[in-house]
Chain A
Amino acid sequence: MSVIEIRQVSRWYGNVVAVNDVTMTIGPGVTGLLGPNGAGKSTLLHLMAGFLQPSGGTATLDAKPIWKNKDVYHTIGLVPEKEGVYGFLTGWQFVQSAARLHGLGDDAAERAIAQVDMAAARDRRIETYSKGMRQRIKVAGALVHEPSVLLLDEPFNGMDPRQRLHLMDLVRDLGAAGKTIVFSSHILEEVERVAQQIEVMVAGRHAASGDYREIRRRMTDRPHLFRVRSSDDRRLAAALIADTASGGVSFTPQGLEVRTVDFRRFTHQLPRLARDLGVRLWQVSPTDEDLESVFSYLSGRS
């Protein structure tokens, strides 16, 4: 059982603040680090892995500082995002070298390879592997010493669905076995499938924290902005503004812009209103469904 403690940690590069005054405690189980690209997830993981010095604050593992402390690697297994593997080694040689660097024998390497289901391809060079296979062999290299902490940077990126499910199962199982696991992702579905605890990062700040139900509710229960084009915008607008689902309707050259206050009711009511009025709907599209606006809403609220 290991605990990572991040206390008021900031990290800046010159004038750019990558991580801004973040405090979190991560214990056993799977924790997902969720946020859009550039939110500081990678930086935070590197701080936890001892590959970056905090510009301010402290990062500790079981109360011992992580930075400049090689002994933390007895406890930590790290799966970096970069395709940082020696392509000229076979999968077996790679995992075996990881085992030997830990002072372990071939049995540890064999167990780790079996754990990620890579035994069949172990004698091929890593450069011949698909992205998903590289990812798995990196996970095997990180698991070889049975660490109680596993850090994974965007582990599911570029995997096909089957590989993704397999790795998700593995991560979930390891979490259930009491290991402290942190992984980063910019995809909510990914995080909620695997993680019990979700930490949301937006623009370097710790924007929200909770289990997936909590995060999911916050993400969908928010005002949405829709663009609606129809055969008679003005009639439709009058009906929409009379309904409690919408908070505002405005005319734009591209059609109506409807701000909803009750997302569910709006999606339910709009087609019915149009049908009753005899108005033909041409286009209904959300204008702010991208992750950035979801995250910026979240960060604005907390």
Chain B
Amino acid sequence: MNTVVASITYRAMLGRKRIWLLALLPIALIAFALLFRFIGGGDESVAVELMKTFAIGTMLPLLGLIAGTGVIAPEIEDGTIIHLMSKPISRPVIAFTKFVVAASLMVGFSVIPTYVAAYILIGSESGIASGFALGALFAGIAYAAVFLLLGVVSRHAVTIGVIYALVWEGLIGGYVPGARRFSIQQWAQSVADQVTTSAFLKSEVALSFAVPAMIIVVAGSVLWAGQRLRVLSLTGDE
């Protein structure tokens, strides 16, 4: 963890208009929650459905993509990362710091809004708010790590990330039960299901699989990103 790297990364992510990229979806989520609350649709099944499809199913992967790739991919693209890499700091430390920044952004823009939205809908009933917030925390960190790695290894990180989120988790996960085991979104639901007593949420992946899977994915992604950064080749415009 390097505080100079972290502070530059925070500035890049939150400065000026960039912050709206992160803020838009959580604002929409809370707006939906308020809307349902006031038109009187705020029962448990609606709350679970909104959390499942929007908070965990849409917002979390998209924010993970914005935060995870955003902390490093633009810098590699325009060469500003040279400023950090031409210093006597270990590259894995740079990668780890970037990961911590992305993970903290996930907490601020995804985990907390998820809790707030669920609380607006049904308060603390059946542990839905805390369950989904905890699921979002685990999965948010996992998304941040995976998309950070993607941002280091590929120049097409955003495209690949969108395809993963939409096609693999969204489409294939919907039809092929086996694919759900390898879906961060499903792992989030497993964690949420553990906390909440609501009958409307049925997770498909056992917690005993989901938690170790997330730990392996996070540790593996961050370590791999650090190693890739060590051998990152930068070329001139020749």
Chain B 76-96 interface mask (CB, 8 Å, partner A; 1/0): 001111111111111100000
> Which B-chain residue is minimally distant from A144 (CB atoms)?
B87
A46 in contact with B4 (CB, 8 Å) = no
Query: Is B88 a contact of A70 with CB atoms below 8 Å?
Result: yes
Q: How distant is the Cα of A85 from the Cα of B2 in the complex, in angstroms?
A: 19
Which of B9-17, B40-48, B149-157 contacts the other chain?
B9-17
Bound complex: CA A67 to CA B238 (Å): 21
CB-CB under 8 A from A78, the residues of chain B are: 82, 86
Q: Which residues does chain A contribute within 8 Å of B230, judged by CB atoms? A: 68
In the bound complex, how far is the Cα of B87 from the Cα of A76, in angstroms? 9
Known: A70-B90, A101-B4, A102-B88. A86 touches B83 (CB 8 A): yes
Residues of A within 8 A of B79 (CB): 80, 82-84
Chain A residue numbers with a CB within 8 Å of B39 are none
- B4: chain A residues at CB < 8 Å are 97, 100-101
Residue A37 lies at the interface, judged by CB distance under 8 Å to chain B = yes
Whether B78 and A42, one on each chain, are in contact in the complex, defined by CB atoms closer than 8 angstroms, is no
Closest to A71 in B: B88
Contact partner of B86 (CB less than 8 A), chosen from A41, A43, A76, A83, is A76
The reply to whether the CB of B179 lies closer than 8 angstroms to some CB of chain A is no
* Docked pose: A52 CA to B234 CA in angstroms: 6
Number of interface residues of A (CB under 8 A): 42
Partner of B233, one of A53, A85, A98, A142: A53
> B83 near A85 (CB under 8 angstroms)?
yes
- In the complex, what's the smallest C-beta–C-beta distance from B21 to chain A, in angstroms? 15
**Given A70-B89, A86-B8, A101-B87; A46-B80 close (CB under 8 Å):** no
Central interface residue in A13, A43, A97, by most chain B CB within 10 Å: A97
Interface residue A88 (Cβ < 8 Å from any Cβ of B): yes
A46 to B233 Cα, complex, angstroms: 9
Q: How far is the CA of A49 from the CA of B86 in the complex (A)?
A: 8
CB of A102 within 8 A of CB of B80, answer no
Is there a chain B Cβ closer than 8 Å to A216's Cβ? no
Once the chains are docked, how many angstroms separate the CA of A32 from the CA of B181?
58
Residue in A41, A43, A46, A84 whose beta carbon sits within 8 Å of that of B83 in the complex: A84
> Is A81 an interface residue, CB under 8 A from the partner?
yes
User: Residue on B with the closest CB to A102?
Assistant: B87
Q: List the B residue with the shortest CB-CB distance to A13.
A: B235
Interface residues of B in 16-72 (CB under 8 A from A): 16
Among the listed A51, A98, A141, which residue makes an inter-chain contact with B85, where contact means beta carbons less than 8 Å apart? Answer: A51
Which of A40, A49, A88, A101 interacts with B12 by CB under 8 Å? A88
Q: How far is the CB of A144 from chain B (nearest CB, A)?
A: 10
- Smallest CB-CB separation from A72: which chain B residue? B88
Shortest distance between the CB of B75 and any CB in chain A (Å): 9
Are B85 and A84 neighbours in the complex by a CB distance under 8 Å? no
Give A100 Cβ to nearest chain B Cβ, in Å: 5
A89 CB within 8 Å of chain B:
yes
Partner of B238, one of A42, A49, A70, A77: A42
- Of the candidates B11, B86, B235, B238, the one whose C-beta lies within 8 Å of that of A73 is B86
Q: Is the CB of B88 within 8 A of A84?
A: no
CB-CB < 8 A to B7: which residues of A?
Answer: 97
Interface mask (A43-55 → B, CB under 8 Å = 1, otherwise 0): 1011001111100
CB distance from B196 to the nearest CB of A (A): 41
Map CB proximity to B onto A84-100 as digits: 1 under 8 Å, 0 otherwise. 11101100001001101
Chain A residues near B216 (CB-CB < 8 A): none
> Are A84 and B78 in touch, CB under 8 angstroms?
yes
Residue A278 lies at the interface, judged by CB distance under 8 Å to chain B: no
Q: Determine if A89 and B234 form an interchain contact, defined as CB atoms under 8 angstroms apart.
A: no
The answer to whether A89 and B85 have CB atoms under 8 Å apart is: no
A284 within 8 A of B: no
Which residue of chain B lies nearest to A52 when distances are taken between CB atoms in the complex? B233
Contact of A98 among B87, B90, B232, B236 (CB under 8 A): B87
Chain A, 144-185, CB within 8 A of any chain B CB:
153
Q: B199 an interface residue at 8 Å Cβ cutoff?
A: no
Instruction: Give chain A residues whose Cβ lies under 8 Å from the Cβ of B88.
Output: 70-71, 73-74, 102
Residue A38 at the chain B interface, CB threshold 8 Å: yes
5 interchain pairs, CB-CB under 8 A: A42-B237, A42-B238, A53-B231, A73-B86, A78-B86
Please report B residues at the A interface, Cβ cutoff 8 Å.
2, 4-5, 7-8, 11-12, 15-16, 78-91, 230-238
Given contacts A53-B231, A97-B4, 8 further A-B contacts (CB under 8 A): A38-B238, A52-B233, A84-B81, A86-B12, A86-B83, A89-B11, A97-B7, A100-B4
* A-B complex: 3 closest residue pairs judged by Cβ atoms: A42-B236, A84-B79, A82-B79
